[in-house]
Chains A and B, each alone.
Chain A
Amino acid sequence: AQSVSQHNHHVILSEAASLELGCNYSYGGTVNLFWYVQYPGQHLQLLLKYFSGDPLVKGIKGFEAEFIKSKFSFNLRKPSVQWSDTAEYFCAVPRKTGANNLFFGTGTRLTVIP
Chain B
Amino acid sequence: DGGITQSPKYLFRKEGQNVTLSCEQNLNHDAMYWYRQDPGQGLRLIYYSQIVNDFQKGDIAEGYSVSREKKESFPLTVTSAQKNPTAFYLCASSISGDWDQPQHFGDGTRLSIL
Residues of A in contact with B (beta carbons under 8 Å apart): 6, 9, 32, 34, 36, 43-46, 49, 51, 90, 94, 97-107
Contact = CB atoms under 8 A, between A and B. Distances in A.
Interface of B: 4, 31, 35, 40-45, 48, 56, 58, 90, 92, 94, 96-108
A6 B99 CA distance: 21
Contacts of B101: 100
A90 B97 contact: no
B40 A98 contact: no
Nearest to B92: A44
Closest 6 CB pairs of A and B: A106-B42, A44-B105, A104-B43, A46-B102, A43-B105, A94-B99
Contact of A51 (B31, B97, B100): B100
A100 B98 contact: yes
Nearest to B38: A106
Contacts of A34: 102
